[in-house]
Structure 1
Amino acid sequence: MDYQRYIDWADDRIVNDSRRVVVTFLLVTVVFSAGLGSVSTNAGTSQFTTDLPAEEAFTRVNEEFSPTFSPDTGSTQLIQRETNVLSKPALLRMLESQHRVEQHASLRVTSTSSAASIVAQQLDPDASTTAQQIDAVESATSSEIDAAVRSAAEESPRFTSLLSTDFNRRSASASATIGVVTHEVPAGISSGSGQGGSSPLTSIQKQADFTIQSAAHGSITVFGSGIVAEEFSSVVVDSLILTVPAAVLFILLFLMIAYRDLADMALGLFALFMTVIWTFGFMGLAGIPFSQMLIAVPPLLLAVGIDFGIHAVNRYREERAEGESVATSMRITTDQLLVAFFIVTGTTVIGFAANLTSSLPPIQDFGYVASVGITFTFFIFGVFLPAAKVELDRLRQRYPIPTFSESPLGSEGSALGGVLRGGVVIAQRTPVVFLLIILVTTAGAGYYATGVSTSFTQEDFLPPEDNPDFVEALPEPFAPSDYTVTGVLNYLEDNFATTQSSQATVYVEGPMRQDSALEQMYRAGDDPPESFVREDGRADSTSIVTVIQDRAESDPEFRRLVERNDRNDNGVPDDNLETIYEYLLDSSSRERTLNYLSEDYRSARVVYTVESDASDSAVAADTRNVADDFRYQATATGSIVVFQAVADLIFESAIQSLAIALAGASMFLVLIYYVLEGRPSLGLANVVPVVVTVAWLAGTMRVLAIPFNALTATMLAITIGLGVDYSVHVTHRFADEYAENDLETALDRTVRGTGGALFSSMLTTVFGIGVLALAVFPAIGQFGILTALSIAYAFLSSLLVLPSVLVVWDRLLNAQGLFGDLFSFGETRRPEPIDGDD
C-alpha cells in the first residue's frame, strides 16, 4: 500500500496552506462550542442499574406492590444521640421535634413515628397525636416511663428495632434511637434502587433540619436521601475546586520546562483547550450526559494531548537544530509523527472502544466519548498544531516575537540524555537475562492481581468520614464542606442491628390463583442458605403467606376459611386461592395484601431477612438460588442484589475490555507495522511493554487495596491506551532510525530524542493528573492515583524494557535457519547502511 502519498498530501497542506488549516480548525471549534450549553448531567448509582433484570424487577416491585392511587412517599430519619434517649427529657425532645415538623405544611409530613411515640402510647393508649403524646410523657414520673419502656420492649418488636444495640431493658436506657418522618413528595422518587445526583427531598430535609435543631438542642441529626444527594453534589464540586487549580499549576510548570518558550507553550495549551471544547461540544450535540465515568475523559485528553504536543514541537526542534528551514523541518516532522500519531490513535481508540462491549451504559458512554475525544486529539495535534507552529515561526521571522529556547530535549551530551540511555545500556549487556526477570515479575504481578476485589456501593460515591488534616487547613474557597453522610452511615451500621440493607426480595411472576402457588412459595423457605436469617428452621420472610397466617390468627372466620382449603394442615391454603385473596382485599388487611400480591393475581413478592454480617456477594448468590427453586418465573432483586449485579458486571467489563483491547491493539499493531515497515513482528515487540504495564498496575491495585469500582473499572483498558502511546513512539522512531543506522545507534538516537519528549510528557501528566489523589471524592482520588501510576509504568517499561525487547527482536529476526525464517513472518533483513549515512 502506497500510504506515503497521503502523508505527502497532509504535509503539503500543513506547510503550504498553514493559514487556511488554522482558520478551518478555528471555525470547527466555534461549531462544537455551540454544543457546550446542551451538555446535561447524570449522577449517582441509578445510571449503572439501567436495564439490569434485577433492577427491572425491583422497579416492578415498587410499582405493583403499593396501594392503588397512593401518593409517592419519602422518609427522613431523625437520629437522636444522648446519654439515655429513653429518659424523660430526651423523649420530650424527640416528640417535640416530631410535632414541629408536622406543623410545617411545606414539609408535606404525612406521619411520624419513634420509640418515644411508642412509650407515650404505653403511658396513654388514647394518645394518637404527638401533642397528646407530649402531654402523656410530661405528666408521667420517671418510674412510670421506665415501666412503659419495659412494656414496649416486650410487646413491640418495632420498638427495639428503633433503638441502638446497647439498649438495656432492665435500666430502660439506650444511647441512640431513630425517629422516622414520612413525607408526600413528587411522584417517582421512591422507585429504583440507585441514588441519583439530586432528590426532591433535599430541600425538605434541609428545612426539617433547621426546624428540628431549635427543639432538639443539637441532639438530633436529620438524615435521608436528600441529604445524601446534596452531599454527593458538594463532594464532586469540592474535588474539582481543590484539584483543578493544582493540576493547572503542575501542567503549566512542566510545560514551561518542556517547551521553554512562552509562545510555544501558549500554542500547546490552546490546542489542549480546543480538544476539550471539541469533545464536550460533541457530547452536547450528540445528547450524551456528563456522568461520574466521564470525569476520566478530560485527564485522558490532557495526557495524550500533552504527549502529542511535546513530541511534535521537540521533533521539529531537532530538525531546526540541524539547520533546516521552517518548511523543511515541519515536513520532516509531520512525515514521521503523523504516522506515529495515527498508530497511537488507532491503538488508543481500540483500548477505549473495548468498553463499548460492557453491559453498563455509563461505561459504554465512556468508551464512546473517549474514543471520539482521542480522534479529535489526533487531528488537532497532528494537523492544527503543526500548521499553527509554522505560522508562528514565519511570523517570528518577520516580527520581533520573543524566542526563549529552541533546543530539543534529551540532546546528545545532555544530562537527561545520559539518564535516558539506562535501558539501552541494559539492552547492550544482558537483554535476555533482564527480560527473563521482567517476565517472572510480570507473571507474578498478574497472578497477584487476580485477588483485586470488586465494589459497587453507595459509599463509592461519597466522601471519606474524615478529611485529611492538610485539606481541613486550606483557606476558602479551597476548603471543602463539612461532610456528615459517611459518618452517619457508619454510625448506623455500627449501632443499629436492623438496616434497610438486611433484606433481599424475590419477585415471582405466575398464575397466583393456581392451587400450588402458595405452597411453592412456602416451600422455598425450607432449608434456607447460610446468609438468610432462620426462624424455626425456615427462612425468616414476609409474603402473602405470612399475611394470610397473621390474619388467620386474629380472624376466626378467615381461619376457618383457610382450614377448609388447607389439605396438608400446614397453615397454607391449597384450594380456592382467589376466594382467599378476595376476603383479604375486602378486609382491613387490604393494604398489607397489596404490598405482597398484585391486584391481578399475576405476581407476588417475598421479602427475606438476611444476616447483617453476610457479604453482598453471598446474599445475592443465595437469593438467586432461592429464586431458582420457584417453579414460576422468579427474579432475585432488592438493593443488595442489584448493586452486586452491577459489581459483577463491572468486573466482567474490566476483564472483557482488557482482553478485547489487548487482542485488538496487538492485531492492529501487527497489521500497521506490516503495512508501514514490512515488519509485522515489530507490532508484537511493541505490545510487550504494554502487557508489563497492565500487570504492574493491576498488581498495584491490590497492594493499595483499590477495587474495581464504577470509575476504576476502565483502568486496565485505559492503561493499554496510554501504555501503547509511549511504546509506539519509541518503536516507530526506532524503525525510522534503524532504516539508516546500526542497531546500537538506532536505539541511542531513539531514547535520546523520543525519550526526552516522553520524559517531559510523563512528568507533566503524572503530576497534572496525579493531583486528583487530593480529591475528597474517593473514586476520583483512586482514578488519579492509578492513572498517574499507569503513565509512570508505561514510561519506565518503554524506556527500560522495550530496548531489550528490540535487541532480542533483532537477534531473532536476523537468526539463521528455520526459526528465524518463521519468526520474521517473511520479513527481509535490513540492508546494511551506506557509508556516510551515519
Structure 2
Amino acid sequence: MLDRVAVSCARRRGAVILAVILVSLLMAYGASRVRQTSDYKKFLSSEQASVRVTLKAAEEFQGMSFETALVEGENLLRAGSLRELLGLENLLLSSPELENRVVGCQSYADLLLQQLPQVRALLTDPSRDPLTENLVMGAYLTILSDPRLSQQLRGYLTPDLRAGLMRVYLNSSLPKEELTKAVGEVREKLRAAENLRLGLTGLYSMERDIGRIMQRDNSVLIPATVVFVCLILFLTFRRLSDVGRCLLVVGLAALWTMGVMGLTGSDFTSIHVALIPISMVAGVDYSLYFLSRYYEERGRGEGFAEALGTSARRVGTAVLMCFLTTLIGFLSFSISDLPPVRTLGQFAALAVSFAFLLTLLLLPALLGSGGVGRAGREGGVSRGLASLGRRIARHRKPILAALAVTVALSALVAPRVGSTMSFDLLLPSGVESLQTQHRMEDLFGGQSQLFVLVKGRLLNPLALEQLRGFQEGVVSDPRASGLIGGSYSLADPIFQYALFSGHMPQTEEEVAEVLENLRASNHGLFLPLSDNQTLVIFNVLGRTDRDFKRATQLVREHVENFSSPLLSLRLDGEPAVGGSPAVISDLFSRIIPNMLKTTLLALLLCLLVLILLFRSPVLGTLTLLPVCMVVMWELGTFYLLGWSLDVFTLGTFSLMIGMGIDYSVQLSSRMREELGRVGSPEEAAARTAGSIGRAVLASAVTMGGGFLILSLSRMPAMTRFGELVALVILYAFVAAVLFLPSALSLRKRAR
C-alpha cells in the first residue's frame, strides 16, 4: 500500500505540491496567531491544593509578587544610610513609570521604624543625625529583646549591620511581561544610590537576564545546529537538492504544527520550544532513510517508479514502525500533571505525524527521475560498515556477554542514583541578578516563601494571639532549624506596637485603628489583609526540592493540628499551604512517579506495536531490548557523573524512546530482509550494515552532533539537555549496532 501511495504522489506531483502549498498557507496564517506566554499560571494544575492556594493568594493580595534588593554598606543603621534607602523607597512608590506596578516596599528600615514615625521626620534634617541614630539604635535593641521580632529582623538585617534586604512588592494582577518591564525600571532607579550598594534579584529580574542570554545563545546555536545538520546531509547525499528536500520536510512539519497550535488557540510557552528539534529529528530521520534506500535501489539499476515503490515498501514499513513507536512515546506525556507538558506531548505527536506524512507524500513528488546519487554507490564508509557488521556477527557471543555485563553493572548502581534537584545547577553564572541571589542566600539563606491562607475574625485580639502562636509553633519546631528562617503575619506589627507602646489592643476596633495608623505613617507597607483573609508567610532557607518538601510537610502538619473557632487555615477542606516551595514539592512528588509510569507504559505499547508489525514476538522483543539497555546505561552514567534523577533527566527517557528506537527498527527490519536473501548471518549482517548502516550512522551523527552543539550554551539547563540527548542518541546507536546483528545472528544459527 505504501508503495502505491508513493508512486501515485510522484506521478501527480503537481497536485501534491499544490495541496501542500495551500495547506502551508493556511498553517502560516495559524502560526501568525500563536499566542506566546510566559505566565507561570499556565504551568500549574488546579487539581492540587497548593496551586489553588497560590492562585487565590495572587488574586486577593496584590503584593504577592516581589523582587528583593540586597543593600550593603558600612553601617546600615547610620542616619545617612537610612535616609538614602527610604528615599529610594519613596522614589519607587511615587515614580509615574511605576504607578500601579510597584504597590509596596518593605525593608529592614521599615521594620525598625514602624512604631517611630518621628524618626522619618528627623531624617529630613541631617543636623539631627546623632539624635536620629540614638532613637534607631534604641528601637533596634528593643526588637532584639523580643525573640519573635528579633528573628523576623534577622531575616532582613545581618548582625554586623553591613547587609540588609528591601522587598519591592509588585502588582501581581498585571501581565508578566509588564512586570518584567517594570523590574527593569526598578533596577535603573536603584542604581541612583550613591553611598549604598544595591543589587536586585527575583523571579522577574532573573527571567529578564536569562531571557537575554537565551536570545544571544539561540541566535548562534540554532543556526550552527542547522548548518551542522546540512553539512552531514550533504556529506551523505552529495547533493544540495537532497539537503533542501530534507530541510523542506523539517520546515513544513514545524510550520504545520505551529499552525495547528495557532488555529486551535493553544498557548506557546517556553517548554514548547522543544517542538522545533522534535520536528527536525523526525523530519531528517524519515527523509534520510527513505532517500538512502531510494538511491540504493537506483544504484542497482531499478527505474524511477520501481525504486520509489521498493523504497516505500521496504523502508516505508520500517519508518511506519518508527513513527508509531515515536507517537506512543510522545502521547505518553498526556497524563502529565502539567498542562504545558500535556500539550507538548500532543503537539510533538502531531509534529511527528506531519513529518511522516510529508516524507511519504511530498518527498516522492519532489524527486526527479534521473541520477543515482552518491548514496546509491558503495563507498569507503559503506564498505567499512559492512566489515564492521560482519565482525560483530562473527563475535556475537563475546559482544552479547560484554553488553550483558555493562547492563548488569548499571542495574546494580541504578538504585543509588539520587533524586534531589538543586535549582542552582540549572542557572547560568556571571549574571547580575543571579550573583545577587547567591550573595543574598549566603548572607540570609534561601529566600523562597511558603505561606498559609487564613480566614476568619482576623482583627480579634485573641485570633491574633492564636495566629502568633501558630507562627511560633512552626518556627520553634526542631525540624525547622536551618530550614525555616522566620515568619511574618498580620499579628507581627500589632505585637511590635504593643512592645513599643506597652499596650496591647483589646478590641477589634483598637486593632483596626493601629493598622490604619501604620498604613498612614509607613507609605507602601505590605500588610497581607483582604476582607477576612490574611497570610502567614514563612521564609524557607533550603534550595533543593527535598528542602521544599520537608518545609511544606512541616507547615502542613502544624496546620492539621491547628484548631480555632475564630480562624480557619484550610481551603476546600485541605491545609491552605501555598507558595513556590509547596507547588514545586507537590509537582515533583507526582511528576517523577508519573514519568516512570509513562516510560514503562510507552515501552510496553512500543513492544506491542513492534510485535504486531513484525508479526513476531521474538523479533519485536529483540528490537526493543536496545532501548531498555539504553535506560540502564543512562542510569549508570548518572551514577558515575553524580547527576540526579530529576525532571530534566527523566524527560530524556521519553525522547530516547521516540528517537533511539528508530535505529533498532531500521536495523532489525533490514536484517530480517537480508536474512531472507542470504543464508549466512554474517553476510546478512554485513549487507545490513553496508546499506542501511550508512543512513543510521548519518542520522545518529546529525542528531547527536546537533544536540551536542546546544551544550555550548551559557544556560546550564540547555547544556544539560544537549549533553543528555546527545548521550542518549550515542547509546541508542551503539546498542542497536552491537546488539541486533549479534542477537539476530545467534537466533539464525540456533534455528
Contact 1:658 1:716 (C-alpha < 8 Å) held by counterparts: yes
* Alignment map for 1:94-109 (pairs within 5 Å): 94-102=85-93, 104-108=95-99
Task: Please name the residue that 2:23 is paired with.
Answer: 28
SS of residue paired to 1:799: helix
Give the Å deviation of 1:407: 3.9
Partner of 1:836: none
2:376 is the counterpart of 1:408? yes
- Residues 679-698 of structure 1: pairs in structure 2 closer than 5 A: 679-698=616-635
Q: 2:552 corresponds to which letter in structure 1?
A: A
Partner amino acid for 2:593? E
Supply the AA of the counterpart residue of 1:665: C
Identity %: 23
Contact 2:152 / 2:487 at 8 angstroms: preserved in 1? Answer: no
Counterparts of 1:798-817 in structure 2, within 5 Å, are 798-811=736-749, 814=751
Structure 1 letter corresponding to 2:232: F
SS at match of 2:480: coil
Aligned to 1:34, the other structure's residue is in SS state helix
Report the CA distance shift for 1:416/1:148 in structure 2 as closer, same or farther (over 3 A): farther
Q: Which of 56, 69, 73 is residue 60 of structure 1 equivalent to? A: 56
C-alpha distance in structure 1 between counterparts of 2:591 and 2:185, whole Å: 38
1:162–1:464 Cα change, 3 Å:
farther
Return the offset for 1:346. Answer: 0.3
CA apart distance, 1:484? 1.4
Change in CA separation of 1:726 and 1:415 when aligned onto 2, cut-off 3 Å: closer
Mapped contact 1:424–1:804 kept (Cα < 8 A): no
Residue 566 of structure 2: aligned partner: none
Alpha-carbon separation, structure 1, partners of 2:87 and 2:473: 46
Residue 653 (str. 1) matches residue 645 (str. 2): no
Query: What are the Cα deviations for residues 97-155 of structure 1, in whole angstroms up to 9, with x where unaligned?
Result: 34544553333366555445677899x852435xx52424x5425xx676556434312
What corresponds to 1:175 in structure 2? 162
**SS across alignment from 1:216:** coil
Residues 473-622 of structure 1: matches in 2 within 5 Å?
483-497=431-445, 500-501=447-448, 503-507=449-453, 530-533=478-481, 588=514, 607=537, 615-622=547-554
Q: Distance in 2 between matches of 1:378 and 1:550?
A: 69
**What SS is found at the alignment partner of 1:774?**
coil
Q: Kindly state the Cα deviation for residue 491 of structure 1 after the two structures are TM-superposed.
A: 0.9
Letter in 1 for 2:369: D
Residue pair 1:259, 1:310 contacting (<8 A) in 2 also: no
Mapping of residues 235-634 of structure 1, within 5 Å: 235-389=213-367, 392-394=368-370, 405-408=373-376, 411=378, 414-419=380-385, 421-422=387-388, 424-431=390-397, 433-454=398-419, 463-466=427-430, 483-497=431-445, 500-501=447-448, 503-507=449-453, 530-533=478-481, 588=514, 607=537, 615-629=547-561, 633-634=573-574
Look up the match of 1:574: none
CA distance, structure 1, for counterparts of residue 438 and residue 360 of structure 2 = 51
CA distance in 1, matches of 2:219, 2:701: 22
Counterpart in the other structure of 1:210: 188
Distance 1:82 1:524 in 2: 31
Distance 1:736 1:162, change over 3 A: same
Q: 1:604 to 1:73 in 2, by over 3 A?
A: closer
Distance 1:733 1:521, change over 3 A: farther
TM-aligned CA deviation for residue 73 of structure 1: 7.3
User: How big is the alpha-carbon RMSD for the aligned residues of Structure 1 and Structure 2?
Assistant: 4.0
Instruction: Return the alpha-carbon distance in structure 1 between the equivalents of residues 300 and 55 of structure 2.
Output: 69
Cα shift readout 1:171-215 (whole Å, capped 9, x = no counterpart): xx53322234456x4x615xxxxxx8x343333332333334344
1:140 aligns with 2:129: yes
Contact 1:80 1:178 in 2 (8 A): yes
Q: Which SS does the other structure have where 1:351 is aligned? A: helix
Task: Give, in angstroms, the shift of residue 294 of structure 1.
Answer: 1.8
The one-letter amino acid paired with 2:376 is P
After superposition, the Cα gap between the structure-2 partners of 1:510 and 1:135, relative to the gap in structure 1 and judged at 3 Å, is closer
Gap change, CA 1:624 and 1:114, over 3 Å in 2: closer
Say which SS state the counterpart of residue 505 (structure 1) adopts. Answer: strand
Amino acid across the alignment from 1:762: A
What's 1:763 paired with? 701
Output the CA distance in 2 between the equivalents of 1:267 and 1:293. 28
Gap runs ≥5 in structure 2: 520-525, 564-569
Query: What is the CA deviation profile of residues 674-703 of structure 1, one whole-angstrom value per residue up to 9, with x for unaligned ones?
Result: 1xxxx2321001001111112222333444
CA contact (8 A) 2:392 2:399 kept: yes
1:234 aligns with 2:212: yes
Q: Does 1:38 align with 2:33?
A: yes
The amino acid across from 2:574 in the alignment is A
Q: TM-score, normalised by structure 1?
A: 0.76
Native 8 Å contact 1:97 1:216 kept in 2: no
Indicate how the Cα distance of structure 1 residues 660 and 31 shifts in structure 2: closer, same or farther if over 3 A, else same.
same
Q: CA deviation at 1:705?
A: 4.6
Which region of structure 1 is more displaced relative to structure 2, 227-236 or 488-497? 227-236
What is the deviation of 1:520?
12
Q: Kindly provide the CA deviation profile for residues 206-242 of structure 1, in whole angstroms up to 9, marking residues without a partner as x.
A: 2333334344268323445442342243233223112
Shift of 1:496: 2.1
**1:822 alignment counterpart:** none
Post-superposition offset of 1:414 = 2.6
Is this contact kept in 1: 2:73–2:162, CA < 8 A? Answer: yes
1:794: how far off?
1.1
Work out whether residues 610 and 619 of structure 1, in 8 Å CA contact, stay in contact via their aligned partners in 2. Answer: yes
Tell me the SS of whatever aligns to 2:574.
Answer: strand
Structure 1, unmatched stretches of 5+, are 1-5, 190-195, 397-402, 467-482, 560-579, 815-838
What is the Cα deviation at residue 464 of structure 1? 0.8
Higher normalized helix content (fraction of residues): 2
Q: Alignment partner of 1:775: what SS?
A: coil
1:672-821 map, 5 Å:
672-674=613-615, 679-707=616-644, 711-742=648-679, 743-811=681-749, 814=751
1:364-388 CA deviation, whole Å, 9 max, x = no partner?
A: 1111011111111111112211231
Return the alpha-carbon distance in structure 2 between the equivalents of residues 773 and 128 of structure 1.
53
- Equivalent residue pairs, number: 722
Task: Specify the alignment match of 1:126 in structure 2.
Answer: 118
- Output the CA distance in 1 between the equivalents of 2:747 and 2:421: 43
CA shift for structure 1 position 325: 1.3
SS state at 2:268 partner: coil
SS of the counterpart of 2:437? helix
* In structure 1, distance between residues paired with 2:68 and 2:88: 12
Distance 1:355 1:637 in 2: 26
> CA distance change for structure 1 residues 287 and 584 in 2, over 3 Å: closer, same or farther?
farther
Residue 226 to residue 347, structure 1, CA distance change in 2 (3 Å) = closer
- Greater alpha carbon shift after TM alignment, 688-697 vs 220-229: 220-229
- 1:450-502 residue CA offsets vs partner (Å, 9 max, x unmatched): 444556787577x4123xxxxxxxxxxxxxxxx312111111100125x542x
Distance across 2 between alignment mates of 1:622 and 1:75: 24
Structure 2 letter corresponding to 1:7:
L
Give the Cα separation in 2 of the matches to 1:278 and 1:744.
Answer: 44
Please report the TM-score for the alignment, with normalisation by the length of structure 2. Answer: 0.84
Distance in 2 (CA, whole Å) between partners of 1:242 and 1:218 is 38
